[in-house]
Structure 1
Amino acid sequence: MKKVLIWDLNYVLKNSGGPAGYLYNIREYLLKHPTKDAEIHFLKDDLGISNVDRSVNTNHKDLMKKIHKLDILSLMGYFRTFRCLMYWNKKLSAKSISGINLNDFDAIHFHNSGDLYRASELLRSYEGKIILTTHSPQPKACEDVENIVYKWSVLRRLIKKQILKKELQGWEKADYIMFPVQGALEPYYVEKEIKDYKDCNTDKFIYCESSILDKPISKPLDREELGIDSSKYLICYLGRHNEIKGYDQLKLFAEHILSKDSRFEFVIAGNEEPLTRLDHPNWKELGWINYGNRLVSSSDIFILPNKETYFDLVTLEVMREGIPILMSRTGGNKFFERYGEEYGIFLYNYGDIKDQEAQFNKMIYELENGILKVKAKKLRNLFIEHFTMEHYISRYIETVKNIC
């Protein structure tokens, strides 16, 4: 029986996106359904460290939002720069994993190239296989620099170059780099060094489609409580408000559609930063919410407008609710083109509003004629048959067996 160590030292696992949500789904499933085909350990569990989500007091959240809006962006930028550089330049010591013998495991699975780079000294005598999954919708160097330094800063290129070098050293340390699908690699090709590395190390790259926990379809919200006219079609977006997620393009599309037809209500969830709302009465911002599944379940159409994407877990959450999806044809989204309109998944070319409008109108026609409702049921069944954790664990264990 193969033993795998999931390196989750830097995460508080919670039901969200990114590596924290990805690992949360795996851990929660295995706690209830231990597998007999492999031993999958989480490092924090083995170290006796709590893996519970540390929720923030609501009052503190409100205070943080107010502070964020103050004109202290330069100071915050320098602070984030310092914090990021501290992370990348601080190697982990043996003390951080005291009592753990890494050679007890056939494979160690890292979920951040920075974590692997920082643990490289601890892995010098490790004899098993090292797996890396990156999760981010772009190279970590690009993501970190975007968050910590303004685009006009002279530091930007210098810091990005330093982080990219260390990021690739993490990739070099890995025996295998696991992506959910091949399309998830596309956003990484913006950096020539990564494209060249992939071309020279094709055999290192393996693929294992992501999954999430199965749950019953959520109870829809009362639209009147949200202040939404029940006679309107509810178009939903749930996620970050930035360019990578396509929030800016979503606003352009909504403005275009609403200039012609007022039957639609765009209901948006997620912290309203750094980009802000469309100024239109049919555009409603809910902010951060803890009832995302119910909002999705209440929707007629979910829009996923990514400019770049890895393998967005929100896609699986929407499939679980059986809600038709209008998504951009980018990165990991391209994987779902194999299912396509038959299952209520409509794809358009990112930035092409005419193409997006054509697909949207097709969905509205099918919605009005009861066709989309039938497809929505097929979408829910597709999730159950392929994207639940039961199927993922089976795929994952088979992958580990093949490489160890």
Structure 2
Amino acid sequence: MVDQYSPLEREAEGQMLMNRRSFLAGGLTVTALLAGCQRVSGPSLRLAMLANAIPAQLLNAFQQLPQGSNIAVTPEESLVELYGLLQQWHGQSAATLSTADWLSLADYWLAPAIRQELVQPLEVSALTHWDELAAVWPELVRRSAAGRLSPDGSIWAVPYRWSHLVVLYDRDRLPRSSAPLATWADLLRPELRRRLVLPNHPRLVLGLAQKALGASANTEDPAAVEGLALFLADLQNQVRVYDSDHYLEMLLIGDATAVVAWSDDALPLLKQYRNLAVAVPPEGTLLSAQLWVRPQAIASVSEQTASTALSWLDFCLDADFATQLAIFGQGTSTRLWGIERSQLPEPLQMPPALALAPDVADQSEFLLPLSAAAEARYSQLWQSLRS
């Protein structure tokens, strides 16, 4: 496999989303799901995704639809493994290759996938629910052949769920006189010295620092952000460790007082542990979306199979999918962007502080591709911070 990642992409190692979860949901196991497949006729829909990406109940629900089909799932444990599948398939003959109809990829990895010609552009005009999405979603996946945002580019993916960075903390480990954590700047408070866990991901850490200072997380020259060097130096003094694998466990066992986490990872813990609290900084946060992409190497398919593949995308953009994803997967559908907390499915309404209010959403950002010169600046800044 040829390594064509940029330095920052290699550094990230696919840690944009939760890394490992069991492929179990509400008692419905893979075995039960496969048993259900045998009851549905029609062509098989092949999906490759993180093991937690779609709750098993939703896979089963699609199979029961008139336009549904058998579903064959290739669950992977990390985004790196999924990206490796795209690279592996790209180097083989499509005529004999067993690929997936759709592969789930994080938006951070879309640009290199396009650049390496691992995915193909999509025709979304036949999707019933595409025009119902907020403008942020087509803007995110409309890219040039170089993977950069482009209003004249092609649509390369269909986003179906998203999450946002939050500050998750143990209120019992703060001094009784301390105010609740609220902003990114609160990560510099004395009571968090060496008690903070940040993601082991350069763009996330440097991005939240820039958001704290009112700058964009996609600034081409971070050195031009006033006060960034001092903020990062102070932040480094707060960090116990940079970790994207065991940070939640560290919080639960008391090795950390606060962690920066993804909202869909934080939600189950907030429902289970009353000592935990959460903050979404009002100055804006960082976002991540999971997308369905079409592997470039996929073999030609029949009209019926192609129709089933499009039906799956429409299913993932439907309002019922959004509700069921919240219930069984505690995830947020792309249909739920920019709406008030009271309009969210009930499982996503509590705790109130976790929801991304529309005004904060307007200040939040996805991590976008950088120029080669900007990547070098970010990489140098990250190495300097860590050393």
* TM-score normalised per structure 1: 0.35
The structure with more strand, counted as a fraction of residues: 2
Query: Which of the pair is proportionally richer in helix?
Result: 1
Q: Structure 2 length normalisation: TM-score?
A: 0.37
Q: Higher relative CO (CA 8 A, sep ≥ 6), structure 1 or 2?
A: 2
Structure number, greater radius of gyration: 1
